[in-house]
Chain A
Amino acid sequence: MKVTLTLNGAEASGDIEPRTSLGDFIREHQRLTGTRLGCEHGVCGACTVLIDGRPMRSCLMLAVSADGRDVRTVEGYEGDAVMAAIRRSFKECHALQCGFCTPGMLATAYDIVTRLPHADRKRIRTELSGNLCRCTGYLGIIDAIEKALDHVHGAERRTQVETA
Chain B
Amino acid sequence: MKPASFAYARPASLDQALRLLADNGGRGRLLAGGQSLGPMLNLRLATPELVIDIGRLRELQRFETTDGALAIGAGVCHADIEDGRVPDLAAGLLRRVAAGIAYRAVRNRGTIGGSLAHADPAADWPPVMIALGAELKIASARGRRRVPAAEFATGVLATVLEPDEMIETIRIPRAASELRWGHYKIAAKPGDFAESLAVVVIHKNGTGARAVLAGRSQTPLLLTETARAIAGVRAWSSEQQAIIATALDSDLAREGVGPGLSPEERAIHLASVSRAAREAIAS
Asked if A59 contacts B38 (CB within 8 A), the reply is yes
Asked if A42 contacts B108 (CB within 8 A), the reply is no
Given A41-B43, A129-B190, verify A56-B105 contact (CB < 8 Å).
Answer: yes
Q: Number of residues in B with C-beta < 8 Å to the partner?
A: 31
A42 surroundings in chain B (CB, below 8 A):
35, 38-39, 102, 106
Give A129 to B34 CA distance when docked, in angstroms: 20
Asked if A18 contacts B7 (CB within 8 A), the reply is yes
Given A62-B34, A65-B55, A130-B103, verify A19-B2 contact (CB < 8 Å).
Answer: yes
A67 surroundings in chain B (CB, below 8 A):
10
Give A129 to B114 CA distance when docked, in angstroms: 22
A56 surroundings in chain B (CB, below 8 A):
105, 108-109
Asked if B39 contacts A55 (CB within 8 A), the reply is no
**What would be 30 A-B contacts, judged by CB atoms less than 8 Å apart?**
A18-B5, A18-B8, A19-B2, A19-B4, A19-B5, A40-B42, A41-B42, A42-B38, A42-B106, A54-B108, A55-B104, A56-B109, A57-B35, A57-B105, A60-B35, A60-B39, A62-B8, A62-B34, A62-B51, A64-B8, A64-B10, A64-B53, A65-B55, A67-B10, A108-B105, A111-B104, A125-B190, A127-B103, A129-B189, A130-B102
Residues of B near any A CB (own CB < 8 A): 1-8, 10, 31, 34-35, 38-39, 41-43, 51, 53, 55, 79, 102-106, 108-109, 189-191
A40-B2, A45-B105, A108-B105 known; 8 new pairs, CB 8 Å cut-off, are A19-B5, A40-B42, A41-B39, A42-B102, A60-B42, A61-B34, A108-B104, A130-B106
